[in-house]
Amino acid sequence: MKNIGIIYNARVPEALDLSTAILHDLNLSENSWLAPAENMETLLSRAENTDLVITVGGDGTILRATTFTGPAGIPMVGINMGRLGFMTELQVHEAMEKLPFYFDGGSRLDERNMLQATVHKANSHGTEGPFHALNDVVLTRGEASRVVTVAGIIDGAPVTTFRADGVIMSTATGSTGYNLAVGGPILDPESDSLVLKTVAAHMGLSAAMVLKASAEVGLTLEGYQPAILSVDGIIDHPLDLGDRVELKQSPHKARFLRANPPSYFFGTLTRRLGFSIRGQ
């Protein structure tokens, strides 16, 4: 590894302190850099000359960093300063000691699938996007408390009309996020399947649907209630009546460097969710 970028959560003062220590104390190249996670659009010019990105924060910091690393194919190592840290690799107390291992090429590459969302506008007949998400894309109600009405199509076949607080499309990585909170299934993080799940369904399908990797889903906003398209909880895009959102597998991948085997995810799942294991 030659040039390393460090992306940190600017709302956590300790994140900047650790990022500064990594930059200055681990003998990184003079072209290495650090930046707050809130300014990803300013980093585009650095993509070609960055070999690795270290994130210092939590899963939210990784989601923001992925908007930069995903299209460029840059691998990441995450340091957890958040609560769950499903995607992070290291804890704060071990970061300075263990990071050189990842610089020296001793780790494995973990590639995660992403989602692509494109909005087809009903009024202008134009498109907006595509937007790319590592966790999920959520079509949800705005500030009003009324449910949204959404016509769903999978691979060109009408499925149902949802009347719900929202509809979530998540990746396997995102299955432990919002999808899990509303009763959806947990997928193996290396799975290429997609999950379609409603939030507080009033009518239509309430059970989660696990879809193949090549599935293409269309969600058309109907009824009288405008909505919001939330991409990884970072981009909130307003939707008007008649707008159609097309969802499918993204051509981009989120790439992580890992020291542990793939099975490590299951060994830490219950701990990260706060469940107890009998006998421990």
Tens-place pLDDT, residues 92-116: 999 999 999 998 888 999 999 999 9
Contact by Cβ (8 Å): 26, 99: yes
Q: What pLDDT sits at residue 79? A: 95
Assess whether the region 4-106 and the region 114-252 belong to the same CATH fold: no
Pair type for strands 75-80 and 52-57? parallel
Please tell me whether the peptide bond between 226 and the residue prior to it is cis, using omega within 30 degrees of 0: no
Q: What pLDDT sits at residue 30? A: 87
Give residue 278's pLDDT band: very low, low, confident or very high (50, 70, 90): low
User: Residue 91 corresponds to which tokens in the numbers above?
Assistant: 């804890």
Q: Look at residues 104, 53, 220 and name the one whose alpha carbon lies nearest to residue 153.
A: 220
Residues 134 and 113: their CA atoms lie apart, in Å, by 7
Pick the catalytic residue: 59, 110, 136, 243? 59
pTM for this predicted structure: 0.90
Q: What pLDDT sits at residue 39? A: 78
Q: What pLDDT sits at residue 183? A: 93
Residues 16 and 225: their CA atoms lie apart, in Å, by 42
Residues 206 and 38: their CA atoms lie apart, in Å, by 35
- Identify the CATH homologous superfamily for domain 114-252: Probable inorganic polyphosphate/atp-NAD kinase; domain 2 (2.60.200.30)
Tens-place pLDDT, residues 164-202: 999 999 999 999 999 999 999 999 988 999 999 999 888
Give residue 263's pLDDT band: very low, low, confident or very high (50, 70, 90): confident
Pair type for strands 136-141 and 166-170? antiparallel
Handedness of CA 263, 211, 71, 13 (dihedral sign): negative
Q: What is the CATH number of domain 4-106?
A: 3.40.50.10330
Tens-place pLDDT, residues 194-214: 999 999 888 777 899 999 999
Residues 13 and 230: their CA atoms lie apart, in Å, by 27
Mean of all residue pLDDT scores within the chain: 90
Identify the helix (H) or strand (E) that includes residue 35.
strand 33-36
Collapsed DSSP state (helix, strand, coil) of residue 214: coil
Phi (first) and psi of residue 208, to 5 degrees: -75, 150
Q: Specify whether 240 is catalytic.
A: no
Q: What pLDDT sits at residue 269? A: 77
Whether residue 279 has pLDDT greater than 70: no
Q: Which residues pair with 4 in a beta bridge?
A: 52
Residue with more model confidence, 83 or 122: 122
Give residue 157's pLDDT band: very low, low, confident or very high (50, 70, 90): very high
Q: What pLDDT sits at residue 1? A: 59
User: Residue 1 corresponds to which tokens in the numbers above?
Assistant: 């590894």
Helices first, then strands: H and E counts in the chain: 5, 17
Give residue 276's pLDDT band: very low, low, confident or very high (50, 70, 90): low
Q: What pLDDT sits at residue 85? A: 74
Residues 169 and 162: their CA atoms lie apart, in Å, by 13
Tens-place pLDDT, residues 21-64: 999 999 898 889 999 998 788 888 888 899 999 999 999 999 99
Contact by Cβ (8 Å): 203, 163: yes
Q: Where do the structural domains in the chain lie, given as residue ranges? A: 4-106, 114-252
User: Residue 42 corresponds to which tokens in the numbers above?
Assistant: 């300013």
Collapsed DSSP state (helix, strand, coil) of residue 224: coil
Cα dihedral 100→253→169→64 (10° resolution): 50
Q: Look at residues 201, 121, 192, 120 and name the one whose alpha carbon lies nearest to residue 160.
A: 201
Residues 140 and 147: their CA atoms lie apart, in Å, by 8
Residues 132 and 126: their CA atoms lie apart, in Å, by 18
